[in-house]
Amino acid sequence: MTAPLYAGTAREIRDRVRSGAVSAVAVAESVLGRIQAVDGAVGAYIDVWGDHALSMAAKVDRRVKNGEDPGPLAGVPVGLKDNLCTSYGTTTCASKILKGFESPYDATVVCRLRDAGAVFLGKLNMDEFAMGSSTENSSIQKTRNPWDLGRVPGGSSGGAAASVAAELATITIGSDTGGSIRQPAAFCGCLGMKPTYGRVSRYGLIAFASSLDQIGPFTKNAEDLAIAMNVVSGHDPLDATSAALPVPDYTTFLKNDLAGLTIGLPKEFYTDALGGPMRESIMRAVDVLKGLGAKVTEVSLPHTDYGIAVYYLIATAEASANLARFDGVRYGYRDPSATTVEEMYRGTKTGGFGPEVKRRIMLGTYALSSGYYDAYYLKAQKVRALIRRDFDEAFAQCDVIITPTTPTPAFKFGEKTDDPLQMYLSDIYTNSVNLAGVPGLSVPCGLIDGKLPAGMQIIGKPFSEDTLIRVAHAYEKARGFEMGKPAIK
């Protein structure tokens, strides 16, 4: 292989490390070198764990040397969104209020990845507390889209998406509450999976909206996605909402045909609001799927139009409670001038949270406050039930639903920062998937105008991640073009 080690897929790296053909340390050094060279321009990492990565890699190499099983991610360089608690380094949610916070424990996914032989490179930038769609709400830095440094990488897992696209990590782990994995994956031209609610343990994920949050991987291709999902999925006794269901071996679904599969195209997604180039790239992808033996049918998700409204009530209501704990008592920032408890709370929250976080706390608090609960929160939960019912009915007619992941490709910095509602509406195709709790996967499906990636969203029935991986893999093999790599300039 003449290509640099950092350019490999997880499967390639894993196999070569396991066979002893390359050392995990050499792989880690290669990716750390790439980060050094390129991340100044991209800004994906908040914190790079150089020494820690090398020592994790050395451990993997020792296991290989001793003939022990080094795990399914042996030596694979992995980056972590900074809302995943790690007992090494800091965990900040890109917020001033958690500056310097050193978690006393590891998130369950972090343990699983480490046990699988992954090598952690560091923590990745995000919108503060995962609230945003462009990573512009990070209190720390901008992350740039590797395909066009003048554009956003999407969000909230912007660092996680940009680093896979720019080969600053082989696999990254993000979180998705309303599109925070799929939308940046689409903007950056990589794969990003939001699993079924309950598939992956949320223990150790700093909560934004507890009933919507899921952790998922970003990868370069479907095979790596299958490998990563094998590691992160499964029941966790520390998360009462994690499903006690068996996890299939996702790598057994990497087949090259889609015979017997029915694809649903929801008519509410293919309206005039969907721009021409985006519509064309999705339709070309659908044609590829047809060529693989899939049947296509029109389905209806009648409450699609209400998804954003429902989402912003439920997500902010839950967030208003979840973020109450950041009060300056046990960890994080405390307003140093406070002399009373009241001043401590107010000074800490006012000085520690950024404007978007404050806005959402305000909205959620209002939606739950005395006299408004029924009209806002309860009403939203009822419409949420209708949205879920829409999906159940649609899935009676098809196996997967295909939509664009986003209405447009990556937008420019500052384009939507002045109008929160416009920013919220950029998640219009992804929100309802979280509301329904079903899995969704964004797969790159070409470049708009030859420049910016477009993403196709594959939505499945609950716990049908295997089917989504099957569709993604078959599509990748059959689409007849390479996405290529961003030039980063």
Partner 1 sequence: MAQLTLKDVEYVAALAQLSLDEAAKARMLGDLGNILGYIEKLNEIDTTGVEPMMHVLDLANVYREDVVGPSLDRALALKNAPNTDGAYFLVPKILDAE
Partner 2 sequence: MEFETVIGLEVHVEISTRSKIFCACANNFHAPPNTNVCPVCLGMPGVLPVLNRAMVEASAAVGLALNCSIARWSKMDRKNYFYPDLAKNYQISQYDLPLCRDGYLDIEVGGAAKRIGIRRAHMEEDTARSTHTLGPGVSGVDFNRAGVPLLEIVTEPDIHSAEEAYAYLTALKQILMYLGVSDCNMEEGSLRAEPNISIRQKGSTELGVKTEVKNVASFSGVQKAIEFEVKRQAKILREGGQVQQETRGWDADRGVTLSQRLKESAHDYRYFPEPDLVPIVVDEAWERRIRESLPELPKARRERFKTVYALSEYDAGVLIADRATANYFEAAVKAGAAAKPAANWIMSELQALLIGAKQSIAACKIGPAQLAGLIGLIDSGTISGKIAKDVIAEMFTSGKDAKTIVEARGLVQISDVSEIETMVREVLAQHPGPVAEFRSGKAKAKGFLVGQVMKAMQGKGNPQVVNRILDEQLAKE
Picked from partner 1, partner 2, none, the partner binding residue 85 (CB below 5 to 8 A depending on kind) is partner 2
Query: Among residue numbers 326 through 355, which ones bind partner 2 (CB under 8 A)?
Result: 326-327, 329-331, 339, 341, 345
3 vs 421 by CB, closer to partner 1? 421
Picked from partner 2, partner 1, none, the partner binding residue 203 (CB below 5 to 8 A depending on kind) is partner 2
* Among 8-16, 97-105, 281-289, 457-465, the segment contacting partner 2 (CB under 8 A): 97-105
Distance from C-alpha of 489 to C-alpha of 487, rounded to nearest angstrom = 6
Annotated catalytic, 180?
A: yes
Residue 370 binds partner 2 (CB under 8 A): yes
Picked from partner 2, partner 1, none, the partner binding residue 93 (CB below 5 to 8 A depending on kind) is partner 2
Q: Out of 5, 10, 64, 107, which residue is the one contacting partner 2 (CB under 8 A)?
A: 107
Annotated catalytic, 349?
A: no
Q: Out of 23, 30, 103, 125, which residue is the one contacting partner 2 (CB under 8 A)?
A: 103
Nearest distance in Å: CB 346, partner 2: 10
Q: Mind spelling out the 3-state secondary structure of the chain?
A: CCCCHHHCCHHHHHHHHHHCCCCHHHHHHHHHHHHHHHHHHHCCEEEECHHHHHHHHHHHHHHHHCCCCCCCCCCCEEEEECCECCCCCCCCCCCHHHCCCCCCCCCHHHHHHHHCCCEEEEEECCCHHHCCCCCCCCCCCCCCECCECCECCCCCCHHHHHHHHCCCCCEEEEEECCCCCHHHHHHHCCEEEECCCCCECCCCECCCCCCCCEEEEEECCHHHHHHHHHHHECCCCCCCCCCCCCCCCHHHHCCCCCCCCEEEEEHHHCCCCCCHHHHHHHHHHHHHHHHCCCEEEEECCCCHHHHHHHHHHHHHHHHHHHHHHCCCCCCCCCCCCCCCHHHHHHHHHHHHCCHHHHHHHHHHHHHHCCCCCHHHHHHHHHHHHHHHHHHHHHCCCCCEEEEECCCCCCCECCCCCCCHHHHHHCCCCCHHHHHHCCCEEEEEEEEECCCEEEEEEEEECCCCHHHHHHHHHHHHHHCCCCCCCCCCC
Picked from partner 2, partner 1, none, the partner binding residue 300 (CB below 5 to 8 A depending on kind) is none
Catalytic residue among 30, 103, 163, 180, which? 180
Annotated catalytic, 81?
A: yes
Q: Out of 85, 185, 200, 488, which residue is the one contacting partner 2 (CB under 8 A)?
A: 85
Strands 440-448 and 191-194: antiparallel
Residues of this chain that interact with partner 1 (CB under 8 A) are 100-102, 104, 197-198, 211, 237, 240-241, 243, 303, 305-306, 308-310, 312-313, 320, 327-334, 338-347, 349-350, 353, 358-359, 361-363, 365-366, 369, 375-376, 378-386, 388, 420-421, 424, 436-437, 462
Give me 177's structure tokens. Answer: 């509450």
Distance from C-alpha of 6 to C-alpha of 11, rounded to nearest angstrom = 12
178 vs 347 by CB, closer to partner 1? 347
Nearest distance in Å: CB 240, partner 2: 5
Catalytic residue among 156, 175, 242, 442, which? 156
Residue 311 binds partner 2 (CB under 8 A): no
122 vs 462 by CB, closer to partner 1? 462
Give me 415's structure tokens. Answer: 């384009």
Picked from partner 1, partner 2, none, the partner binding residue 318 (CB below 5 to 8 A depending on kind) is partner 2
Nearest distance in Å: CB 352, partner 1: 10
Q: Would you say 30 and 5 are in contact if contact means Cβ atoms under 8 Å apart?
A: yes
Picked from partner 1, partner 2, none, the partner binding residue 424 (CB below 5 to 8 A depending on kind) is partner 1
Query: Among residue numbers 192 through 251, which ones bind partner 2 (CB under 8 A)?
Result: 202-207, 209-211, 237-241
Catalytic residue among 23, 30, 81, 320, which? 81
Picked from partner 1, partner 2, none, the partner binding residue 310 (CB below 5 to 8 A depending on kind) is partner 1
Q: Which residues on adjacent β-strands are paired with residue 458?
A: 402, 441
Picked from partner 2, partner 1, none, the partner binding residue 446 (CB below 5 to 8 A depending on kind) is none
Residues annotated as catalytic are 81, 156, 180
Query: Binding residues for partner 2, per CB under 8 A?
Result: 83-85, 91, 93, 98, 101, 103-105, 107, 202-207, 209-211, 237-241, 317-318, 320-321, 324-327, 329-331, 339, 341, 345, 365, 368-370, 373, 377
